[in-house]
Structure 1
Amino acid sequence: MAAKNSLAAAIRTVRKARGLSQEAFSDVSSRTYLSSLERDLKSPTLHKLEELCTVMDVHPLTLLTLAYAGDASNSAEQLLASVRKELELLTKTSDQ
């Protein structure tokens, strides 16, 4: 399952939507590192992704949904419905 957009585009989209400059992340990241993430030259660790999302005031799953579904709300709804079903199945399986 490949991302329709990329994580890089999702980070840039959310950062700009929140009205944040790359310098606003200075407590968790350098401007150079954030720029390399947004240009898809590097990939963040899960821990770093969580730190970036804290600055952007968005849940990491929101960012990942944007990366996988793009900006089309119907694609996001389909993706979230699929994830919901998978979680339900996994929960039922682990309860047995």
Structure 2
Amino acid sequence: MNTIDCSPIVFMRASFWVFVWKPSMNLREALGRSIRSLRRHRGLSQEAFDVVSSRTYISTLERGLKSPTLEKLDEIAKIMDVHPAALLCLTYSLMSESEASAQIEAIRTEARRLLAIYKKGAKG
């Protein structure tokens, strides 16, 4: 009898979406799951992205087979009406056991620190 080991799969509930987190998930897979989940939540078909990409390209992203460029990620995020950084935050949340709110706070703190360094350097 063939069995499938599902022990590393943990179901997490974030708002009204249900995501599947796997400890072995790589960045491309997590980004693909994020794109697919958000696209479905927004009620968009893969064809809705034809202004920026083909349906097959979106499909390969969602399956974690390819990684988009920053420009392409920005275009995809705009179609889904979400900031690209929020999409990346969701992606990294899927790869981590920590709470998304803790990650968001860490990002906020680090962004403030980096902005202060940038502003200090820009004055000099």
TM-score greater than 0.5 by the shorter chain:
yes
Q: Whose strand proportion is higher, 1 or 2?
A: 2
Gap change, CA 1:24 and 1:6, over 3 Å in 2 = same
User: 1:40 aligns to what SS in structure 2?
Assistant: coil
What displacement does 1:69 show? 3.4
User: 1:6 aligns to what SS in structure 2?
Assistant: helix
Normalised by the size of structure 1, how large is the TM-score?
0.79
User: 1:29 aligns to what SS in structure 2?
Assistant: coil
Gap change, CA 1:46 and 1:16, over 3 Å in 2 = same
Gap change, CA 1:53 and 1:90, over 3 Å in 2 = same
Which protein has greater RCO, CA pairs closer than 8 Å, 6+ apart?
1
Q: Whose helix proportion is higher, 1 or 2?
A: 1
Gap change, CA 1:47 and 1:39, over 3 Å in 2 = same
Structure 1: how far apart are the matches of 2:112 and 2:92? 15
Q: How does 1:1-96 map to 2 (within 5 A)?
A: 6-70=30-94, 72-96=100-124
What displacement does 1:27 show? 1.6
Count of matched residue pairs:
94
Deviations 1:58-94 (A, max 9, x none): 1112112222234722222222222222222222123
Contact 1:6 1:67 in 2 (8 A): yes
Normalised by the size of structure 2, how large is the TM-score?
0.64
Larger radius of gyration between Structure 1 and Structure 2: 2
Contact 1:69 1:76 in 2 (8 A): no
Identity percentage over the alignment? 49
List runs of 5+ in structure 1 lacking aligned partners.
none
